[in-house]
């Protein structure tokens, strides 16, 4: 099988200039921050001199003497007790196009029907993203589980921008948690940050759908992404092996990161982590129905005319490997790595708000009025608040201390949501389409005007010729009139005309 032709052809509903559009909130924000740093290098230099948090190098390593028991070895037990009582929050995004078996896979992972298709169908028409919260208890341990699904993903006629609502949802959960933490009462924070994403692919040997490729690439920048090929029971072992090679080759060459935050988290903590790189993509068989196997035992699986196939049969399915990786081995690490990613997002968002405050404080009256009266994203700041922003030190923001919170107060979630609209790829695509449509209308009107001008010019040429002809006729008639007047005057004095001839007004003679 040719790996070069495994990606779906460019004649899909995705535009060829797709990568020209900016691809999401955080990527666009980084570009703007980079431009701001290039325009203001002194700020970057001063901020680098400021050490905000201590590192491991700031601590002195001290070992307790042998034989003296401090009790710090009980800390893991204390954490285990807290986790048992409080439970662990885990938010799992199960994405993929409609019909890939997302709901069935979730039910198979937890061994019971926790989501049914009827619930998804009722949610599909309103938002396209379904969310269900549940508490799962096993062996005195509580798991606060949230499952987010995309039931109708990829069902549109034009799917060129179908990935944007899903990516925006992931970004919005990060931003929402940041603004929640700034509130005075934080006892009941709603943590909806996505800790992991299982992206389901069809067992298609011919091509990898371009919508799937773009979606995975954008999601891999924001969540721990795990590609899963579902329904592999329609493939024989050799076909499945070839498909895995093709998918892995394509994702590696298209820049799709697999569990990027989990890998970075483990590397930062000195743990060599390469499990996911050697195992993905997982090829699984999912079923939420129990059948009798050859040993007379009830198992999850599927029954066919030629026999039965068990979900947890490692010979045909990677389901046990996926379950081991996702739940048994790395669930807590997935949560912790998302926390680490969240902190970097929080830092960047706070800096973005300060930079926006600096931009607005540097606006003159004309620029500010233009921004405040924008028909798309009007943003206005009270005059008193604007004056306070102008007093801040933007070259070294650490000198402002608590005054920086004035920027955070002014550029709150409501105001920042308006700013994010300008950075949205969907908004930029609409701008592009509107400009394209406007240019088409202008070109059409210019063609009409050109044709009208040509017709008018042609008519003017004809009229000019008629005017010239009429002017010559008038000049000729004026001359005839002068000749006639002369002849009349001569006739009165003793004319010279003969009796057998007469003269017309135009000077022609004819026989009587």
- Give the pLDDT confidence score for residue 383 in this predicted structure: 67
* pLDDT at residue 428 greater than cutoff 80: no
- The alpha-helical segments, DSSP class H, found in 158-259 are 163-181, 210-219, 237-253
* pLDDT at residue 1 greater than cutoff 80: no
- Give the pLDDT confidence score for residue 49 in this predicted structure: 39
Q: Is 228 helix (H, G, I), strand (E, B) or coil?
A: strand
Q: Give me 488's structure tokens.
A: 């009349």
Same domain flag for 207 and 91: yes
Same domain flag for 159 and 286: yes
Q: Count Cβ neighbours within 10 Å for each residue of 221-249 and write b for 16 or more, e otherwise.
A: bbbbbbbbbbbbbebeeeebeebbebbbe
Residue 132 zone, left/alpha/beta (φ > 0; ψ -120 to 50; rest): beta
> pLDDT tens digits for 225-256?
999 998 888 888 888 888 888 888 888 888 88
Q: Is residue 400 part of a domain?
A: no
* pLDDT at residue 171 greater than cutoff 80: yes
Instruction: Give the bridge partners for 302, in sequence order.
Output: 309
* Residues spanned by the domain of 163: 3-47+72-345
> pLDDT tens digits for 433-480?
777 888 888 888 888 998 999 999 999 999 999 999 999 999 888 888
Separation CA 309–CA 291 (nearest Å): 9
- Residue 166's nearest CA partner among 182, 146, 149 is 149
Q: Is 172 helix (H, G, I), strand (E, B) or coil?
A: helix
Q: Is residue 393 part of a domain?
A: no
Same domain flag for 299 and 168: yes
Residue 63: exposed, middle, or buried by beta-carbon count in 10 A (0-12, 13-18, 19+)?
exposed
Q: How far is CA 138 from CA 95, 135, 143, 422, in A?
A: 26, 10, 8, 47
Same domain flag for 82 and 222: yes
Cα 419–Cα 422–Cα 428 angle in degrees, nearest 5: 165
Number of structural domains found in the chain: 2
Q: How far is CA 458 from CA 15, 354, 464, 472, in A?
A: 44, 63, 10, 22
Separation CA 407–CA 137 (nearest Å): 44
Question: Which of 327, 345, 363 is the last residue before a domain boundary?
Answer: 345
Separation CA 428–CA 24 (nearest Å): 11
At 45, the pLDDT band (50, 70, 90 cuts) reads very low
- H or E element in which residue 197 lies: strand 196-201
Would you say the C-alpha torsion 111, 117, 122, 125 has a positive or negative sign? positive
- H or E element in which residue 473 lies: helix 425-492
Question: Which of 281, 313, 345 is the last residue before a domain boundary?
Answer: 345
Q: Is residue 111 part of a domain?
A: yes
* pLDDT at residue 500 greater than cutoff 70: no
* pLDDT at residue 78 greater than cutoff 90: no
DSSP E strand boundaries for 390-483: none
Q: Is residue 30 part of a domain?
A: yes
| CATH code where residue 266 lies | 3.40.50.300
State the average pLDDT over residues 275-297.
Answer: 81
Same domain flag for 323 and 210: yes
Same domain flag for 82 and 201: yes
Rg (CA), the chain: 39
* pLDDT at residue 126 greater than cutoff 50: no
Cα 427–Cα 429–Cα 434 angle in degrees, nearest 5: 95
- Give the pLDDT confidence score for residue 92 in this predicted structure: 92
- Give the pLDDT confidence score for residue 12 in this predicted structure: 46
- Give the pLDDT confidence score for residue 460 in this predicted structure: 92
> pLDDT tens digits for 346-385?
888 888 787 777 777 776 666 666 666 665 556 667 666 6
Cα 302–Cα 305–Cα 308 angle in degrees, nearest 5: 35
Same domain flag for 318 and 442: no
Same domain flag for 162 and 33: yes
Separation CA 368–CA 373 (nearest Å): 9
Question: Which of 302, 326, 345 is the last residue before a domain boundary?
Answer: 345
Would you say the C-alpha torsion 279, 223, 229, 207 has a positive or negative sign? negative
Q: Is residue 405 part of a domain?
A: no
Same domain flag for 192 and 99: yes
Q: Is residue 189 part of a domain?
A: yes
Cα 153–Cα 158–Cα 161 angle in degrees, nearest 5: 65
Q: Is residue 370 part of a domain?
A: no
Same domain flag for 338 and 453: no
At 3, the pLDDT band (50, 70, 90 cuts) reads low
Average pLDDT, the chain: 76
Q: Is residue 60 part of a domain?
A: no
pTM beyond 0.95: the answer is no
Separation CA 166–CA 160 (nearest Å): 13
């Amino acid at each position: 099988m040719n790996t070069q032709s495994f990606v779906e052809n460019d004649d899909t509903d995705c535009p060829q200039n797709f990568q020209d559009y900016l691809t999401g909130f955080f990527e666009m924000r980084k570009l703007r921050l980079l431009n701001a740093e290039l325009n203001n290098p002194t700020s970057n230099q001063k901020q680098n001199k400021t050490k905000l948090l201590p590192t491991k190098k700031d601590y002195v390593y001290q070992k307790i003497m042998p034989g003296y028991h401090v009790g710090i070895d009980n800390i893991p037990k204390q954490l285990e007790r807290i986790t048992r009582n409080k439970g662990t929050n885990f938010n799992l995004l199960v994405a993929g196009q409609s019909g890939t078996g997302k709901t069935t896979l979730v039910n198979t992972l937890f061994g019971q029907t926790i989501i049914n298709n009827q619930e998804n169908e009722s949610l599909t028409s309103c938002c396209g993203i379904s969310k269900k919260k549940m508490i799962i208890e096993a062996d005195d341990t509580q798991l606060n589980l949230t499952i987010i699904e995309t039931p109708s993903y990829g069902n549109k006629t034009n799917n060129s921008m179908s990935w944007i609502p899903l990516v925006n949802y992931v970004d919005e959960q990060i931003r929402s948690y940041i603004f929640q933490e700034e509130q005075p009462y934080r006892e009941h924070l709603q943590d909806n940050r996505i800790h992991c994403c299982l992206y389901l692919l069809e067992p298609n040997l011919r091509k990898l759908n371009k919508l799937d490729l773009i979606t995975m690439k954008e999601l891999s920048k924001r969540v721990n992404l795990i590609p899963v090929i579902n329904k592999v029971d329609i493939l024989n072992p050799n076909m499945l092996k070839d498909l895995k090679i093709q998918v892995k080759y394509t994702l590696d060459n298209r820049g799709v990161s697999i569990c990027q935050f989990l890998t970075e988290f483990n590397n930062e903590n000195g743990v060599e982590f390469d499990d996911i790189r050697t195992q993905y993509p997982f090829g699984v068989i999912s079923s939420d129905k129990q059948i009798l196997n050859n040993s007379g035992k009830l198992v999850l699986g599927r029954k066919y005319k030629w026999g039965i196939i068990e979900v947890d049969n490692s010979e045909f399915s990677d389901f046990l490997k996926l379950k081991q990786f996702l739940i048994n081995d790395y669930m807590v690490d997935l949560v912790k790595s998302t926390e680490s990613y969240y902190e970097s997002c929080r830092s960047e968002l706070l800096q973005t708000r300060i930079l926006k405050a600096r931009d607005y404080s540097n606006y003159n009256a004309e620029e500010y009025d233009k921004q405040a009266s924008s028909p798309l994203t009007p943003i206005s700041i009270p005059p008193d608040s604007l004056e306070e922003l102008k007093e801040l030190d933007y070259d070294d923001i650490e000198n402002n201390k608590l005054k920086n919170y004035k920027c955070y107060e002014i550029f709150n979630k409501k105001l920042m949501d308006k700013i994010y609209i300008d950075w949205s790829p969907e908004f930029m695509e609409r701008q592009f389409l509107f400009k394209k449509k406007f240019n088409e209308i202008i070109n059409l009107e210019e063609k009409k005007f050109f044709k009208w001008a040509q017709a008018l010019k042609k008519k003017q040429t004809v009229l000019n010729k008629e005017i010239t002809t009429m002017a010559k006729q008038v000049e000729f008639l004026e001359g005839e009139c002068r000749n006639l007047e002369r002849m009349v005057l001569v006739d009165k004095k003793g004319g010279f005309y003969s009796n057998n001839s007469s003269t017309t007004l135009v000077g022609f003679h004819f026989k009587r």
